[in-house]
Amino acid sequence: GDSVTQMEGPVTLSEEAFLTINCTYTATGYPSLFWYVQYPGEGLQLLLKATKADDKGSNKGFEATYRKETTSFHLEKGSVQVSDSAVYFCALDTGRRALTFGSGTRLQVQP
Amino acid sequence: KAGVTQTPRYLIKTRGQQVTLSCSPISGHRSVSWYQQTPGQGLQFLFEYFSETQRNKGNFPGRFSGRQFSNSRSEMNVSTLELGDSALYLCASSFHNYGYTFGSGTRLTVV
């Protein structure tokens, strides 16, 4: 079945450091890929998405490129802020209108 | 534009009872899906509705059910509650395949 694998957390960085959160997937067909962010006590917010190979999603300084050859969708940001501290979820949708999520990666950014 | 509204935000129920959670999607969104989030199992898909029809269902027991009304509002019901049903229940609405917008969730505690 479909699955998403994310790097284990927590990831602890200093402010202005470079961020990478790895995400790889297994799916039939050609899924759409998403990154969601969850702040404490809140639901999920869509951060960015990509619907086909080589697409790059970007938002608020975050970027991720859909790599079909490596089945990956790694999240990157050039300079993190304390306000980026949250849990990040990678997810896919193969068109069955059901998201498959990774286990989430907690990011802690220290001032 | 109002977001996805879930009520109530918090709920405490006793084992064996039943519970109904409500979700109002973004205006114009006809697809509503439900997810369960627990520390152990992560985010898991429950079911998805479109125009009052369930189109997809996750791997949950029959105690979990849902419905959608003609105004696209949706409810999910859990009967004969078990301690393991304690979770954050998230609702998401979607317009075609442009991504999913999540509500803040209902936190259910079963005692």
With an 8 Å Cβ cutoff, is A49 touching chain B?
yes
Residue-level pLDDT at A11? 96
* Residue B62, CA distances (Å) to A86, B30, B58 in order: 34, 24, 11
Report the first-to-last Cα separation within chain A, whole angstroms.
41
Residue-level pLDDT at A8? 84
Q: Kindly determine whether residue A43 and residue B104, on different chains, have CB atoms separated by under 8 Å.
A: yes
* A2-42 pLDDT tens trace: 999 998 889 999 999 999 999 999 998 889 999 999 998 88
With an 8 Å Cβ cutoff, is A34 touching chain B?
yes
Confidence of residue B1 (pLDDT cuts 50, 70, 90): low
Percent of chain B with pLDDT over 90: 93
With an 8 Å Cβ cutoff, is B33 touching chain A?
yes
Residues 6+ apart with CB under 8 A from A66: A33, A50, A51, A52, A53, A54, A55, A56, A57, A73
pLDDT value at B2 more than 80: no
How far A97 CA sits from the closest chain B CA (Å)?
7
Q: Which of B48, B50, B90 sits opposite A98 (nearest CB)?
A: B48
Query: Would you say A3 and A91 are in contact if contact means Cβ atoms under 8 Å apart?
Result: no
Residue-level pLDDT at B99? 80
Please state, in angstroms and rounded to a whole number, the distance separating the CA atoms of residues B67 and B77. 9
The average pLDDT across B14-27 equals 97
Q: Which of B4, B100, B101 sits opposite A99 (nearest CB)?
A: B100
The average pLDDT across A83-103 equals 94
Residue-level pLDDT at B81? 98
pLDDT value at A88 more than 90: yes
Please state, in angstroms and rounded to a whole number, the distance separating the CA atoms of residues B40 and B25. 28
Residues of A in contact with B50 (CB under 8 A): 97
The average pLDDT across B17-40 equals 96
Q: Kindly determine whether residue A44 and residue B90, on different chains, have CB atoms separated by under 8 Å.
A: yes
Residue-level pLDDT at B97? 64
The average pLDDT across B61-75 equals 97
Mean pLDDT, rounded, of chain B? 95
Residues of B in contact with A97 (CB under 8 A): 31, 33, 48, 50, 55-56, 94
pLDDT value at B96 more than 80: no
Distance from chain centroid for Cα A104: 8
Confidence of residue A1 (pLDDT cuts 50, 70, 90): confident
Residue-level pLDDT at A9? 86
Instruction: Tell me A67's DSSP state.
Output: B
Residues of B in contact with A49 (CB under 8 A): 99
